[in-house]
């Protein structure tokens, strides 16, 4: 089959080539990929930023989102059958959706929303699951609470705004001048143009902050939270709890503890809670998201699409940080 893969870690590595078809295990679903989407996570994996905690074997097919059609199922699979249209985010140990075929554990898949096409469906899983696991599972966001979602025009931000509004929250977000009206249309109640305003000087009394940006924004976000509020980051630094869940070695656990000690200490001094969320594959949660998409509560946002042969160009485009919503790879 044809796929985009890396032979070594590096910022500009990767090529299109022929690789063996995946082997179907008892709990696997073999999916003919129609579309995949590009995430910053793909670029970080390619650059080797996660090789200490995600020890992939090379060559490695990249790709963390997919939509497609089931071709075959393993002997223990009960939830899907050939011909089903599905979408999902593979478990982190078995990524590889920038390919014509991929094997995914059935627990990571859900039936594709009936009211959208393959490209739109492929744009959803990783960002929707991230948003769900931050806002519903970790923050337990309640109706009437106030949440700040950074980078509202990005992949996670554009979907998290919609989910937070569905949960009944008051939503603030940050974005650039060109996208102010666009994120308002997604549902944001307050929009901070970071080119003109300092969010930490404007916002106060928030219950939750979803951070996807760098260390400077992370620390400033503490200022907008009320006592007892939650700062939840998907861009790091990771916490000791994350290190335990990943089963990291003692040395890596200590390194992780040190990396996040500063922000955890500053949060405690303000009576705040800091948490790091590294999204995990979860088909049951994706099924909940399917219902929201079919009900029109969540609308996928696709900036542009690239053919599989131009995957390197798609990665470069996403790395610029200018995409509104998601970037999609057309595989079939």
- Chain Cα centroid distance, residue 110: 16
For domain 2-124+300-330, which architecture applies? Answer: Alpha-Beta Complex (3.90)
Q: How many CB atoms lie within 10 A of CB 254?
A: 13
- 2-6 and 66-73 as β-strands: parallel, antiparallel, unpaired? unpaired
Q: Which pLDDT belongs to residue 53? A: 82
- Distance spanning both ends of the chain, measured CA to CA: 12
Residue 239 C-beta-side C-alpha neighbours within 13 Å: 17
Phi first, then psi, for residue 270 (nearest 5°) are -105, 10
Model confidence at 260, pLDDT cuts 50, 70, 90, reads very high
pLDDT higher than 90, residue 265: yes
- Report, as an integer, the average pLDDT of 262-286: 97
Question: What pLDDT digit, counting tens, does each position of 309-330 carry?
Answer: 999 999 999 999 889 999 999 9
Question: What pLDDT digit, counting tens, does each position of 82-115 carry?
Answer: 999 999 999 999 999 999 999 999 999 999 999 9
Q: Which pLDDT belongs to residue 290? A: 98
Task: Quote the CA–CA distance of 210 and 265 in Å, as a whole number.
Answer: 18
Q: Find out whether 37 and 123 touch, Cβ atoms under 8 Å.
A: yes
- Report, as an integer, the average pLDDT of 146-151: 98
- Report, as an integer, the average pLDDT of 21-26: 97
- Report, as an integer, the average pLDDT of 211-222: 95
The structural domains of the chain, with segments of one domain joined by +, span 2-124+300-330, 126-276
Task: Quote the CA–CA distance of 130 and 252 in Å, as a whole number.
Answer: 24
pLDDT higher than 90, residue 50: no
In this predicted model, which residue has the larger pLDDT, 135 or 247? 135
Eight-class DSSP state of 212? -
Q: Find out whether 241 and 49 touch, Cβ atoms under 8 Å.
A: no
Residue among 152, 118, 144, 150 nearest 33 (CA)? 118
Task: Quote the CA–CA distance of 237 and 256 in Å, as a whole number.
Answer: 8
Task: Quote the CA–CA distance of 186 and 301 in Å, as a whole number.
Answer: 10
Q: Which pLDDT belongs to residue 287? A: 97
Sheet-wide strand order for 2-6 = 15-18, 2-6, 60-61
Q: Which pLDDT belongs to residue 119? A: 98
Q: Which pLDDT belongs to residue 168? A: 98
pLDDT higher than 90, residue 235: yes
- Give the whole-number percent of the chain exceeding pLDDT 70: 100
Q: Which pLDDT belongs to residue 322? A: 85
pLDDT higher than 90, residue 268: yes
Model confidence at 236, pLDDT cuts 50, 70, 90, reads confident
Question: What pLDDT digit, counting tens, does each position of 162-210 carry?
Answer: 999 999 999 999 999 999 999 999 999 999 999 999 999 999 999 999 9
Q: How many CB atoms lie within 10 A of CB 87?
A: 31
Q: Find out whether 268 and 225 touch, Cβ atoms under 8 Å.
A: no
pTM (predicted TM-score)? 0.96
Task: Quote the CA–CA distance of 156 and 168 in Å, as a whole number.
Answer: 18
pLDDT higher than 90, residue 52: no
- Give the whole-number percent of the chain exceeding pLDDT 90: 93
In this predicted model, which residue has the larger pLDDT, 11 or 123? 123
Q: Find out whether 89 and 129 touch, Cβ atoms under 8 Å.
A: yes
Instruction: Quote the crossing angle between the two packed helices 40-47 and 311-319, to the nearest 10°.
Output: 100
Residue among 232, 231, 234, 211 nearest 222 (CA)? 231
Q: Find out whether 248 and 224 touch, Cβ atoms under 8 Å.
A: no
Q: Which pLDDT belongs to residue 188? A: 97
- 190-193 and 206-211 as β-strands: parallel, antiparallel, unpaired? unpaired
pLDDT higher than 90, residue 123: yes
Q: Which CATH class is domain 126-276?
A: alpha beta
Length of the chain: 332
């Amino acid at each position: 089959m044809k796929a985009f893969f890396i032979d070594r870690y590096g910022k500009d590595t990767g090529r299109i080539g022929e690789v063996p078809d995946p082997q179907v295990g008892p709990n696997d679903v073999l999916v003919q990929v129609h579309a995949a989407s590009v995430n910053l996570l793909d670029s970080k994996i390619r650059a080797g930023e996660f090789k200490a905690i995600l020890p992939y074997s090379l060559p490695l097919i990249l790709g963390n989102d997919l939509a497609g059609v089931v071709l075959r199922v393993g002997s223990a699979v009960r939830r899907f059958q050939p011909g089903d249209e599905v979408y999902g985010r593979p478990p982190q140990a078995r990524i590889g959706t920038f390919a014509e075929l991929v094997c995914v554990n059935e627990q990571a898949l859900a039936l594709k929303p009936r009211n959208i096409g393959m490209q739109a469906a492929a744009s959803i899983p990783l960002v929707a699951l991230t948003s769900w696991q931050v806002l519903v599972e970790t923050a337990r966001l309640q109706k009437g609470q106030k949440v700040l979602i950074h980078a509202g025009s990005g992949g996670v931000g554009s979907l998290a705004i919609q989910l937070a509004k569905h949960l009944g929250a008051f939503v603030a977000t940050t974005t650039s001048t060109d996208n102010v009206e666009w994120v308002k249309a997604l549902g944001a109640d307050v929009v901070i143009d970071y080119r003109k305003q300092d969010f930490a000087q404007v916002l106060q009394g928030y219950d939750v902050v979803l951070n996807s940006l760098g260390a400077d924004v992370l620390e400033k976000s503490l200022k907008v939270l009320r006592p007892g509020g939650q700062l939840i980051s998907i861009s790091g630094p990771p916490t000791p709890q994350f290190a335990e869940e990943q089963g990291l070695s003692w040395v890596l656990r200590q390194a992780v503890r040190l990396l996040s000690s500063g922000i955890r200490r500053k949060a405690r001094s303000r009576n705040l809670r800091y948490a790091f969320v590294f999204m995990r594959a979860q088909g049951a949660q994706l099924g909940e998201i399917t219902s929201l998409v079919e009900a029109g509560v969540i609308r996928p946002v696709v900036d542009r699409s690239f053919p599989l042969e131009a995957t390197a160009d798609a990665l470069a485009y996403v790395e610029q940080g200018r995409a509104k919503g998601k970037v999609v790879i057309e595989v079939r």
